[in-house]
Amino acid sequence: MIDYQVHTLSNGIRILHKPFASPITHCCFVVNAGSRDEPEQKEGLAHFIEHLLFKETERRNTNQILNRLELVGADLNAYTTKEYTCIHASFLKPHLERTIDLFEDILFHSTFPQEELEKERGVILDEIASYLDQPEEAVQDDFEELLFKGHPLGKNILGTTESVSKISQADIRDFIAANYNTSEMVFAVIGDHDLKTLVKLAEKYFGSVAPNTSVKHRKKPTEFNSEMLRIQRPISQVHCIIGNRAYPTGHPHKTGLLLLNNLLGGIGMSNRLNLEIREKYGIAYTIESNYAPFSDTGIFSIYFGTDTEKAAKADKLVHRELKKLREQKLGTLQLHQAKQKFIGQIALAEENRIGLIISMAKSLLDFGNVDTLEQVFAKIEVVTAEQLLEISNEIFDHRLTTLVFEPK
């Protein structure tokens, strides 16, 4: 049964409503624009804009923006990914209109004053420096650059010191005009509200927003060759990422790879990589796998950090686990247990209401609809052992790309 409702405003902005009896309301505004949409030499622009949205509008200064929700105990935040910009808030039920008013103001009436731009430039440059000091984070970005050389998907979301130093007011306005298409925006709410009230407020605040029908032309990734790269850095441990390009969001094998990823190195301590490498051999404190689908491609990766003398064995054990999945079909019980674990984790994740409503908003942007829990579970249940074997041989190929940060 569909447990959400959608209303589309005349300017194309969609309003997504999921009723939920709670004194707390969560909402988000998701724009289908991220770092992959940035022009060359303008890396970090989408993220810079996200920061500046909280700085000054035509009728509010920075303090008024920050206090608008915090004064009623609400939480306001935002983030940027390679394909999305998201603003989200959590607040007590009576403050829905206050939140919608603020969202409309910062998204469509920000002024991006030069003084605030320079302040935030310094903040972001510090953020980049801090990020580079964290090898477990930096190795992920450098790995993505290896997978997508010369392509926007390979660029760091934060940008570089050089690119961020050159971003101007004109760059910001040009990016918004080119990428903030109103028909690729979703405002989503989960809480104890009726659709009629929500639509009335959305029409009041978002209805007068001028439609933007700009069409983005995302560059598709080209073919690539796998690589093995070792980089020496002033660090105390080895940080290694092994992986490959993977399926896009709409691929029929996406669910199967999500299931495999969870089995291999997903949430919890009982995944195969953790049991084999951490629990059995005590080699790595952190070992995990990740699958991130994009609109036209994806990334599958395995990360571990360990001492130099243990790195070779950890690498060997990771490849042994991948080889098993390529060569040995899961048994009936193994497959059933993997599905039950994954289904249970998804059900529990629904308790994170803000994560849920953001996920629903993204799904509406990507597919034009949102799967119910029952539909999600059904997709998992129909995955076969034969499909998982096929996926393993496609993605966990022996020609994987590997990036290693090792101590000097």
What is the CA angle 9-13-15, rounded to 5?
Answer: 80
Number of compact structural domains in the chain: 2
Same domain as 185, residue 110: yes
Same domain as 50, residue 130: yes
Cβ neighbour number for residue 138 with a 10 Å cutoff: 18
Per-residue pLDDT of the chain in tens (408 residues, 90 and over written 9): 678 999 999 999 999 999 999 999 999 999 999 999 999 999 999 999 999 999 999 999 999 999 999 999 999 999 999 999 999 999 999 999 999 999 999 999 999 999 999 999 999 999 999 987 899 999 999 999 999 999 999 999 999 999 999 999 999 999 999 999 999 999 999 999 999 999 999 999 999 999 999 998 899 998 889 999 999 999 999 999 999 999 999 999 999 999 999 999 999 889 999 999 999 999 988 999 999 999 999 999 999 999 999 999 999 999 999 999 999 999 999 999 999 999 999 999 999 999 999 999 999 999 999 999 999 999 999 999 999 999 999 999 878 999 999 998
Same domain as 347, residue 236: yes
Query: Of 148, 171, 206, which residue constitutes the final position of a domain?
Result: 206
Is 174 among the domain residues?
A: yes
Same domain as 298, residue 348: yes
Cβ atoms of 109 and 87 within 8 Å: the answer is: no
Is 145 among the domain residues?
A: yes
Question: CA of 219: how far to CAs of 148, 295, 332, in Å?
Answer: 11, 11, 42
Same domain as 271, residue 395: yes
Is 220 among the domain residues?
A: no
Query: What's the CA gap between 333 and 329, in Å, rounded?
Result: 12
Same domain as 236, residue 187: no
Query: What's the CA gap between 375 and 275, in Å, rounded?
Result: 31
Domain span at residue 277 reads 228-407
Is 402 among the domain residues?
A: yes
Query: What's the CA gap between 192 and 207, in Å, rounded?
Result: 22
Same domain as 314, residue 243: yes
Whole-model pTM above 0.85? Answer: yes
- 3 state SS of 382: coil
Same domain as 176, residue 109: yes
Same domain as 285, residue 162: no
Same domain as 254, residue 376: yes
Q: What is the CATH number of the domain that holds 166?
A: 3.30.830.10
Is 256 among the domain residues?
A: yes
Same domain as 233, residue 195: no
Is 132 among the domain residues?
A: yes
pLDDT at position 217: 86
Same domain as 239, residue 110: no
Is 160 among the domain residues?
A: yes
pLDDT at position 132: 78
